């Protein structure tokens, strides 16, 4: 804006009028130009942000079923784990007692069952988490590409 102020001062130097009036007119022109420039800049930034958010929501919408599927799998695994420890393990223990299996042997069997089942659930949980992380990575990758495309598009429009 300094260049604009200098150019305006140079132009007004040829005009015969009160110096205070000249200064007021120059300040007024500079303020109007600054507000117009900052408004345009803000509008461009908001346009980029709007396009980014719009595309991001479209990506989430496109992956909505996969997101629901991953969430359902995780919920099912949690329920299965809870059911195993609250019901199945109790039933196995009672069955072993009713069958009059030696308590030391029953203890070893239950311990191995718990370890085996826990490893199986952990493996399943890990696969679900890996799928969810891969899906989130894909959404982020596409969102970043959209940002590049939006910036490129806006630069071409200018």
pLDDT in tens, 20-41: 887 888 888 888 887 777 777 7
The answer on 74 and 28 residing in a single domain is no
- Provide the Cα torsion 31, 33, 39, 43; round to 10°: -170
* Residues 79, 120 within the same domain: yes
Flag whether 119 is in a domain.
yes
Closest CA to 56 of 149, 155, 152, 140: 140
For the chain, the domain total comes to: 2
Q: Which two tokens stand for residue 114?
A: 């718990």
| Residue 32 lies in domain | 1-45
Q: Give Cβ neighbours of residue 29 (< 8 Å, ≥ 6 apart).
A: 4, 8
Residues 89, 129 within the same domain: yes
- Short-list 157, 153, 155, 147, CA closest to 49: 147
Q: Do 87 and 116 fall into the same domain?
A: yes
- Whether 73 and 135 map to the same domain: the answer is yes
**Quick one: 6 and 36 in the same domain?**
yes
Length of the chain, in residues:
158
Intervals of the chain under pLDDT 70 = 1-2, 154, 157-158
- Residue 2 pLDDT: 67
In a shared domain, residues 153 and 93: yes
Contact present, 125 and 77 (Cβ < 8 Å): yes
In this prediction, residue 158 carries a pLDDT of 58
d(CA 96, CA 4): 92
pLDDT score, position 137: 84
Torsion of CA 37, 51, 140, 76, to 10 degrees: 140
Q: Is position 22 within any domain? A: yes
Question: What's the pLDDT at 115?
Answer: 92
Same domain? 41 vs 86? no
pLDDT for the residue 83: 92
Q: What is the pLDDT of residue 116?
A: 92
Same domain? For 40 and 67 the reply is no
What is the predicted pLDDT for the residue at 154?
Answer: 67
Does 149 lie in the same domain as 92? Answer: yes
């Amino acid at each position: 804006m300094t260049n604009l102020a200098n150019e305006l001062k140079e132009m007004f130097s040829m005009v015969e009028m009160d110096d205070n009036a000249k200064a007021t007119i120059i300040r007024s022109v500079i303020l109007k130009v600054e507000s117009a420039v900052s408004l345009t800049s803000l509008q461009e930034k908001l346009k980029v942000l709007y396009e980014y958010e719009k595309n991001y929501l479209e990506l989430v919408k496109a992956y909505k079923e996969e997101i629901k599927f991953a969430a359902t799998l995780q919920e099912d695994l949690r329920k299965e784990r809870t059911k195993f420890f609250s019901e199945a393990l109790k039933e196995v223990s009672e069955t072993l007692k009713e069958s009059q299996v030696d308590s030391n042997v029953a203890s070893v069997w239950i311990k191995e069952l718990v370890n085996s089942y826990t490893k199986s659930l952990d493996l399943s949980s890990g696969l679900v988490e890996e799928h969810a992380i891969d899906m989130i990575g894909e959404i982020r990758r596409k969102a970043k590409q959209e940002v590049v495309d939006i910036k490129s598009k806006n630069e071409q429009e200018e």
